[in-house]
Structure 1
Amino acid sequence: MKPLWKIDASLPLGSPFEAGARHDVVIVGAGITGLTTAVMLTRAGLDVAVIEAGDVAELATGGNTGKLSLLQGKRLAEIRRHHPAALVRAYVDANREGMDWLIAFADHAGVPYTWRTDHSYAQTADGLETVREQHAAAREAGLDTRMLTPGDLGTTPFPVSGAVALDDQVTIDPVTVTQALAREYIEEGGTLHTGIRATGAHVLPSPRVDTAEGPVFGEHIVLATGSPILDRGLYFTKTSGMRSYCVSFRVPGDVLTSTFLSVDGPTRSIRPVSDADGPAGTAQLVVGGNGHPVGRSDSERAAVDDLVSWTAQHFPGAEETHRWSAQDYTSHNEIPFVGAMPRGLGAIRFATGYAKWGLSNAPAAALRLTAEILGTSWRDRPRWMTAISTRLTVPADLTEGAVEGAKVAAAATAGWVEAESRAVPVPQPEEGTGVLANRGGLPVGVSTVDGVTRAVSAVCTHLGGVLAWNDAECSWDCPLHASRFAPDGTRIEGPALKDLKNLPRTGGS
């Protein structure tokens, strides 16, 4: 499952890793958060190193739809239900400044993009109240939105009962702009290490990031890893990991010129692609949606196939070109967590909880992280930084956390029960499938991928959740806190730091 944006990607070259090297700042993660922060700090004259286990834009950034919008589906309405209008405005202002920064960078770097009108729409009459709430929250936050009836929209190929629209939003190739960030960062003297996996971070005796190749030291550390790779602050309990899916298509005839995101389910995200905001001549349409908590799906492949079926129904003749998925984290507080990590002595910072809107939230987070690292006084920072950093926990935050905690507990129990229901040896799984079993009372995951059958411990190395097989991406996913592992047990992402233990095959397993 390779994203459309990565089909013709020329990756920036990194530097050889030197264990024990010292820098002003060490950033873990070469996605949009890590590299916008790196560019800002390098421009300010700091010596910065970026460490990435994979390649530039490896995970969430590379799987982005490339929508850069302040409307954001029903996000503003969701925030407003639980927080005062002033906080919604601060969130919008932060995203506006992040969006402006990224567009200015794209202009500077010669990265093309397209201005479009974005729509949050209701697929049925049941979603109209949410559309109205989104419009009210957006207007209250200073956005010039307008309500539209189906007649105002003209003919759309898919059902629309009503919508709220915001002009002058952007679509951009997320990988192209992230690679441009990496190129400028390297040209300005930054150090980029790809293929180097971080295994931890410490403050004492001096701040450092541990990697599989040795430590690297910095006065400041930034964890730009989606979910923080440290459990300090227990942010894995304050966010929910979600996987959602995208499919790109060639479409005969005219294609929509605007973007759409449904506020009711099942979620449908529609994004046209042009040569200015995607790989030239490859696809004209991206359809996304069907998100679910990581590891809690009857079939991830069915979720993708459903998007294909929906597109075939509403865009006759659509020809699939690519399918992919991405993982995002949503804060139970509804607002991203950005800033100093507890018990980090002011040396370790992080950002998480963008709720799928990383193209604007990430540069906004980078602006705040940069201000903190540079020691910019509060009176010289924008008002939104103060408003967001001083927000209080409200009852809805606690309720959402309690609900998610109950779901985590239920998933933990269900996993162990399923594993106990089947003992090894088990028949060799068919290609692309995985099964849970138990060996001596411990869960085992057996899968066959690319003709190779493997057995691994099916217990997550983070907090012991029993893993579930992802039949779309052929991975073992944790339903507790969203860690993911390859069929051979290699950690892919999430709060887990260690790989799964490989187990010998016995009998049919």
Structure 2
Amino acid sequence: MTSLWQSASAPVEGTPLVPDRRHDVVIVGAGITGLSTAVLLAEAGVDVAVVDAGPVGQGATGASAAEASLLQGTTLATLRSHHPAGLVRAYVDANRAGFDWLVERAGADADRRTSFTFGRGPDTDPALDAVLAAAKEAGLPVREDTPDDFGGRSRARAVALDDQLALDPVRLATTLAQQAVAAGAALHTGVTVRDVHALPQGRIDTDQGALFGDTVVLATGTPLTRRGLYDLKTRALRSWAIAYELADATHAPGGMWSEVGADGRGVMAVPTSFGRPALLVTGARHPVGSGRSEVALAEELAAWARRTLPVGDELARWSGQDYQSHNLVPFVGGMPRGLGRIRFATGYAGWGLTNGPAAAMRLADEIRGVSRRNRPQWLRTIGTRMTVPADLGRGLAEAARRARTVGAALSGAVPAPAPRPAEGAGVVVRRGLRTAAVSTTAGTTRTVVAPVPLTWNDAERSWDSPVDGSRFAPDGRRLEGAASHDLPEVGRAS
């Protein structure tokens, strides 16, 4: 499914990859983090190459909800509930640095909007009180509000922060790619990375040959390697976004809205750079491979939008994936057992438009050898990771959830041989102690070997892993996630 931003974007032309070429830094991922890092390094005179399997900004960046906000829903309140005020302030300062850098780079392409975290009814008051207190303590100029322009239907209690940004994320990525190339960086799109190595030197293996770098930066949503086991230290989450024409522009919601609640519903008018009025509705946030019907989740969100908002015809519908660390602070820095040659960033929890540039600043400083005492205070504070019992508890709860989902998928598996699935359907088949995933798409039935039980994504027509969030096409081709290899296809019938 193609997002609103992807369908309107113009591709950035890269250059052919020259096998065995050496660079100072090789960056895997042409999204906001990878391109921001490339700009910072290339403008400092570092020899940089950026590699991506797809076009610029077509991964997690292309599925973004287009909101750059320091308020970030209930993130600050959740972080403050288990961590000291200094860490929350450092997190805000990091995002402010990323925000300011975006303003400098995006220029007129960004709209200034008020960001609201809102709730309805007394049940949400404690959560909003916590958001207000945490944001004020962290130094944000928030205010309490009861705006009535949420669809022109009713009033809602909200915490508001003015002068935040709405922007087309793919257009931003395109701008950053152009700036990186203008500064001397090499850009290689359509190149699939198969593996990454630290010994005997930094190297990535691709489908078009190897590239060498003194440093390799993995800016791929989640690291494309099992070093450090970051797939166990983060939750892989998917969300839905639906863009609509406005049925009544006079009652369009002003600002950018994030609702208090587990499914993360949000509403905003799309950036004006899109060229015509439209409304974006987001939500249905859930763990990857949870086993629920993706089509049903999207339809529930669409039904809520039609009940609540002045929406007209649907323009686009898509889902995207992000990763949330168990303490909500992103992982950024050197990869364990990477010998200082492999660096990465992950765990933005859906707020990558500000966390991504902040991570790029840290990565660029570390790669260039900027001394710790010359780095901003927020970078020094947030770079010292703290783990508290609540973080461990969330990690254990996530491990238990994965085990339950895998158990449910295994118990629901059918013994081989299984009947051919209907068009657009998939079934997990037991083969001894292993499982196979069988699906039918475009009239062809394919069977791939699965190391753990997978769940069928009925909207994207993919196999999704509840263990690490990896996703695979029906033929086993890796789509995204921590997995570094395709699944072997062992059968095909038309």
- Describe the SS at the equivalent of 2:428: strand
Q: Deviations over 1:389-422 (max 9, x none)?
A: 1132111111111111111222222222222x34
1:166 correspondence with 2:161: yes
Aligned 1:118-267 pairs, distance under 5 A: 118-149=115-146, 152-153=147-148, 156-157=151-152, 161-254=156-249, 255-267=252-264
- Describe the SS at the equivalent of 2:8: coil
The residue that corresponds to 2:467 in the other structure is 480
The residue that corresponds to 2:416 in the other structure is 423
1:158 deviates by: 5.6
For 1:456 and 1:56, the matched residues in 2 are separated by 30
CA RMSD of aligned residues (A): 1.6
The residue that corresponds to 1:451 in the other structure is 443
1:375 deviates by: 0.7
1:297 correspondence with 2:291: yes
Query: What stretches of structure 1 of length at least 5 have no aligned partner?
Result: none
For 1:338 and 1:440, the matched residues in 2 are separated by 41
- Describe the SS at the equivalent of 1:54: coil
1:265 deviates by: 4.2
Q: Which moved more, 1:92-101 or 1:55-64?
A: 55-64
The residue that corresponds to 1:408 in the other structure is 402
Task: Report the residue type matching 1:403 in the other structure.
Answer: A
Task: Report the residue type matching 1:18 in the other structure.
Answer: V
Q: Deviations over 1:402-461 (max 9, x none)?
A: 111111222222222222x3432313422x22222234553222222233332222x1xx
The residue that corresponds to 1:32 in the other structure is 32
Task: Report the residue type matching 1:427 in the other structure.
Answer: R
The residue that corresponds to 1:21 in the other structure is 21
Instruction: Note if contact 1:49-1:192 (Cα within 8 Å) is conserved in structure 2.
Output: yes
Per the alignment, do residues 418 and 385 of structure 1 end up closer, same or farther by CA in structure 2, a change over 3 Å counting? Answer: same
Task: Report the residue type matching 2:420 in the other structure.
Answer: P
Q: Which moved more, 1:358-367 or 1:117-126?
A: 117-126
1:317 deviates by: 5.0
Task: Report the residue type matching 1:141 in the other structure.
Answer: A
Instruction: Note if contact 1:429-1:446 (Cα within 8 Å) is conserved in structure 2.
Output: no
Per the alignment, do residues 206 and 131 of structure 1 end up closer, same or farther by CA in structure 2, a change over 3 Å counting? Answer: same
1:374 correspondence with 2:361: no
Instruction: Note if contact 1:476-1:484 (Cα within 8 Å) is conserved in structure 2.
Output: yes
The residue that corresponds to 1:46 in the other structure is 46
The residue that corresponds to 2:58 in the other structure is 58
Q: Which moved more, 1:354-363 or 1:338-347?
A: 338-347
1:63 deviates by: 0.3
1:280 correspondence with 2:275: yes
Instruction: Note if contact 1:28-1:222 (Cα within 8 Å) is conserved in structure 2.
Output: yes
TM-score, length-scaled by structure 2: 0.96
Task: Report the residue type matching 2:489 in the other structure.
Answer: N
Instruction: Note if contact 1:121-1:160 (Cα within 8 Å) is conserved in structure 2.
Output: no
Per the alignment, do residues 335 and 294 of structure 1 end up closer, same or farther by CA in structure 2, a change over 3 Å counting? Answer: same
- Describe the SS at the equivalent of 1:455: strand
1:194 deviates by: 1.0
1:274 deviates by: 4.2
Instruction: Note if contact 1:122-1:160 (Cα within 8 Å) is conserved in structure 2.
Output: no
Q: Deviations over 1:329-365 (max 9, x none)?
A: 0001220000011111111110000000000000000
Q: Which moved more, 1:211-220 or 1:89-98?
A: 211-220
Q: Deviations over 1:369-394 (max 9, x none)?
A: 00001111122110001101113211
Query: What stretches of structure 2 of length at least 5 have no aligned partner?
Result: none
1:161 deviates by: 4.2
- Find 1:357's aligned residue among 336, 351, 361: 351
Per the alignment, do residues 125 and 220 of structure 1 end up closer, same or farther by CA in structure 2, a change over 3 Å counting? Answer: same
1:467 correspondence with 2:454: yes
- Describe the SS at the equivalent of 1:165: strand
The residue that corresponds to 2:67 in the other structure is 67
- Describe the SS at the equivalent of 1:7: helix
**Identity within the alignment, %:** 47
The residue that corresponds to 1:435 in the other structure is 427
- Number of paired residues? 492
- Describe the SS at the equivalent of 1:345: coil
